[in-house]
């Protein structure tokens, strides 16, 4: 999560890449043609847009903003069966974690739409939104204070 935060603060998807679901894992997980291209063009592309949107949310105070916590609602973690969401194998997913940070003396937060566990490690797979209505980056439920998580479905 430190890598994710570093990427948001500096508007650098490359810095945040280590927190993102690995391409090799995605190719193995997905039961679709062209999974590698889908990871590059859609999945990581959306992540890059969302990193930029989160950076813009921080505004001119980005360089002084400090990560306080990432609150993961473990009660929402669930198993996604093979075949669901075009997946060839199952995996654990948790929606709606919260990135909590301090900026200019105020506590603020935004969501992580979805995280996936792969071989015992958790990765961001959708930062701003699972399903998108356009090509712009999205910040998931920015809030004053730590915000709150709500249960939601997968894909």
pLDDT exceeds cutoff 80 at 155: no
Kindly give, in sequence order, each residue whose CB lies less than 8 Å from that of residue 88, ignoring residues fewer than 6 positions away.
Answer: 28, 29, 30, 31, 82
Give the count of alpha carbons within 13 A of 17, CB side only.
Answer: 10
Confidence of residue 48 (pLDDT cuts 50, 70, 90): very high
pLDDT of residue 52: 97
Q: What does the pLDDT read at residue 133?
A: 79
**φ, ψ for residue 88 (rounded to 5)?**
-85, -20
List Cβ neighbours of 78 (8 Å cut-off, separation of 6 or more).
92, 93, 94, 154
- Picking from 101, 72, 92, 100, the residue whose alpha carbon sits closest to that of residue 154 is 92
Q: What is the pLDDT of residue 85?
A: 85
Domain ranges of the chain: 2-144
Distances (CA, A) of 91 to 79, 111, 120: 6, 21, 10
Note the helical H segments in 1-155.
Answer: 2-10, 13-16, 23-29, 35-38, 44-58
Query: What span, in angstroms and rounded, lies between the C-alpha atoms of 19 and 54?
Result: 15
Q: Is the dihedral of CA 32, 120, 130, 101 positive or negative?
A: negative
The Cα–Cα gap between 39 and 71 comes to: 26
Comparing 20-24, 48-52, 83-87, 103-107, which segment has the lowest mean pLDDT?
83-87
Closest CA to 47 of 130, 151, 133: 130
């Amino acid at each position: 999560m430190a890598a994710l935060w570093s990427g948001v603060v500096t508007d650098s998807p490359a810095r945040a890449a280590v927190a993102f679901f690995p391409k090799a894992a995605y190719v193995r997980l997905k039961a679709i043609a062209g999974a590698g291209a889908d990871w590059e063009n859609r999945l990581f592309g959306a992540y890059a847009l969302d990193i930029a949107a989160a950076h813009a949310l921080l505004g001119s105070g980005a360089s002084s903003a400090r990560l306080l916590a990432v609150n993961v609602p473990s009660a929402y973690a669930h198993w996604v069966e093979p075949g669901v969401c075009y997946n060839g194998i199952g995996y654990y997913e948790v929606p709606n974690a919260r990135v909590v940070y301090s900026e200019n003396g105020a506590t603020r937060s935004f969501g992580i739409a979805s995280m996936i566990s792969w071989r015992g490690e958790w990765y961001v797979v959708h930062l701003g939104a699972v399903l998108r209505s356009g090509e712009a980056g999205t910040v998931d439920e920015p809030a004053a204070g730590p915000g709150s998580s709500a249960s939601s479905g997968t894909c």
